[in-house]
Amino acid sequence: MRRSRQDAAATRERILKSAAAEFRRNGIDGTGLADLMAAAGLTHGGFYKHFGSKEQIVAEACAEAANSLTNSLSAIAGRTKSKVSLEDVVGSYLSRAKRDSPADSCPLAMMGSELARQGAETRDAASGSFLKLTRLLVPLMPDAEPEVKARNAMVAMCAMIGALTVARIVPEESLSDAILSEMTRAISTGQMRGSGKPKLSAGKSTSR
């Protein structure tokens, strides 16, 4: 009994990791349940033993992908304690390797426009992933008040997601490479930030 529970948990984990890769590679609408079960080496029928719906696995796969990315970027951030680590982390996120290997890249850039059209569970998971990645940047941001650093990190994270998305769209390699390197430079030289002056509050943000 215990063994079979362990097996089931291992199988669930295998499906989830495989789904996290497939959704980033082929999109949400472009990946059917049969596809992702096949990618995990399983038959379609077993899916509902582990997950309640496609929405559930999309939400969990998005979180899984973000955790995996955060861990790999955290390892880079931990390697250097100097100011240079912001460039290392941003440069790793905006690398040609991440652009060219969607299965191993940022879920918000690989699935961004599709995530925006999903239901509440998936959008909550994606939003949590965005905040998790943003929080990774906060301590790396140049000296400022904590609230300002948080805003600057949020702006930088959105800019990174946009640059990786566009670099994947653009077919001309030199332009695509330039997008990655220019955005890395803009963020790591600290020229890509919020103003740091106005308070970030609901009242302020709804005054537009």
Residue 108 interacts with a second copy (CB under 8 A): yes or no: yes
Separation CA 35–CA 22 (nearest Å): 8
* x-marked contacts with a second copy along 146-165 as a string, rule CB under 8 A: -----x--xx-xxxxxxx-x
Closest approach of a second copy to the CB of residue 9, in Å: 29
User: In 10 A of CB 64, how many CB atoms?
Assistant: 21
Separation CA 105–CA 25 (nearest Å): 9
Footprint (CB under 8 A) of a second copy, residues 22-61: 26-27, 29-30
DSSP class of residue 143 equals: S
**Structural tokens at position 161:** 């997601």
3-state SS class at 183: helix
Residue 171 interacts with a second copy (CB under 8 A): yes or no: yes
Closest approach of a second copy to the CB of residue 84, in Å: 15
Closest approach of a second copy to the CB of residue 33, in Å: 15
How far are the Cα atoms of 138, 159, 170 from residue 50, in angstroms, in the given order? 36, 36, 38
Of 184, 165, 178, whose CA–CA distance to 85 is shortest?
Answer: 184
Residue 138 interacts with a second copy (CB under 8 A): yes or no: no
Closest approach of a second copy to the CB of residue 21, in Å: 14
Residue 103 interacts with a second copy (CB under 8 A): yes or no: no
How far are the Cα atoms of 34, 80, 149, 152, 157 from residue 205, in angstroms, in the given order? 43, 36, 17, 15, 18
- Of the pair 43, 189, the CB lying nearest a second copy is at 189
Residue ranges binding a second copy (CB under 8 A): 26-27, 29-30, 91, 95-96, 108-117, 120, 123-124, 126-127, 130, 151, 154-155, 157-163, 165-166, 168-172, 174-175, 177-186, 189, 191-195, 198, 200, 202, 204-206, 208
